[in-house]
Amino acid sequence: MSILDRFRLDGRVAIVTGASSGLGVAFARGLAEAGADIVLAARRADRLAGTAALVEQAGRRALCVPTDVSSPDDCRALAEAAAAFGPVGVLVNNAGVASAVPAGRETPEQFRSVLDVNLSGAYWMAQATAAVMRDGGSVVNISSVLGLVTAGLPQAAYAASKAGLLGLTRDLAAQWSTRKNIRVNAIAPGFFASEMTDEYEDGYLDARVRDLPISRPGDADELAAAVLFLASDASAYVTGTTLTVDGGLVIS
């Protein structure tokens, strides 16, 4: 097998949650270009058709499954549908919600709603997928650099959920890498254009990226390439780690 062959995903099914928009679309397209058939999941099922079209343009099959990852039942149904579609080899836990509420005003309901999707939802999806995943599978959790540093916004719930996801990644890797032969890793993206960044105040993103060592926002394809690395056999000796893709934010 050549080094480039290690990045191929032929014969595998990849599940991508949060696949209706933004980075999830880029992840689905990138994994399809590497040869995977893609199971697309999101609460907004009507918006999955566009992502499915991109997967099919890459010559791969797509299956759309409406899913609320905060529901363990939905997660199990998604995993079962994926297993019927083909041999599940990859899970990209990308579904997420953001919040920017000052800590003194954040309600219990607001805090829990973020953790239910970003942290608990990733756990329920990992549990359900591990039960049907082929030997040598890979789970890629999409965390955030805000699980490692702060960025000038009041994001206690979001930061807590993304930091928790890093801990979950390490623990699942320790449990499953040997017993199930499933690798579990995380990516901590910096500033990438998405529906979340669309909600920033005017000028915030420009001010934040101006002082980065790589002084621009990231491109979605750059992040998709990192996902492909961790999803594929190119990273066969990598588990329990967090790959920071942030233009140097954590060192700036």
Torsion of CA 14, 20, 21, 23, to 10 degrees: -20
The count of residues in the chain is: 252
Whether 200 sits among the annotated catalytic residues: the reply is: no
Task: List own/partner pairs for 165-170 with CB under 8 A and 24 or more apart.
Answer: 165/93, 165/118, 165/119, 165/122, 165/141, 166/242, 168/119, 168/122, 168/123, 168/126, 168/141, 169/141, 169/143, 169/240, 169/242, 170/240
Q: 189 - beta bridge partners? A: 245
Run of H or E including 126: helix 121-130
- Cβ-contact 54, 25 below 8 angstroms: yes
Q: Which of 158, 200, 204, 237 is catalytic?
A: 158
Give yes or no for a contact between 33 and 58, defined as CB atoms under 8 angstroms apart. Answer: yes
Count of other CB atoms within 10 angstroms of residue 104 = 6
Task: Catalogue the active-site residues.
Answer: 158
